[in-house]
């Protein structure tokens, strides 16, 4: 039986290195089971720093842009 394939969308302000991709795979692997994960990478310089990861119903936004927006809301 073939394993399923799923796309993990990753948005960063710069292209990911092979090591960074490996770290993402390592963190998601325990939740993937026998599913083969493939990274679909998008570069968005407006994020400034950090990463956004979207997979299944998981949405992780660790971008500097979002953190700065949250801080601005708290200060105003």
Question: How close are the terminal C-alpha atoms of the chain, in Å?
Answer: 56
Among 8, 9, 15, smallest CA distance to 43 is for 15
Would you give per-residue pLDDT tens digits along the chain (76 residues)?
Answer: 567 899 999 999 999 999 999 999 999 999 998 899 999 999 999 999 999 999 999 999 999 999 999 999 999 8
- Bridge partners, residue 36, by sequence: 5
The answer to whether 15 and 47 are in contact (CB under 8 A) is no
Where in the chain are the domains?
Answer: 5-75
DSSP code for 20: H
Kindly give, in sequence order, each residue whose CB lies less than 8 Å from that of residue 27, ignoring residues fewer than 6 positions away: none
């Amino acid at each position: 039986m073939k394993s399923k394939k799923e796309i993990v969308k990753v948005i960063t302000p710069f292209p990911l290195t092979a090591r960074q991709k490996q770290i993402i795979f390592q963190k998601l692997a325990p939740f993937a089971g026998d599913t083969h994960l493939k990274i679909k990478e998008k570069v968005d310089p407006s994020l400034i720093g950090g990463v956004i990861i979207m997979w299944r119903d998981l949405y992780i936004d660790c971008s500097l842009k979002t953190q700065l927006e949250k801080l601005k809301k708290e200060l105003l």
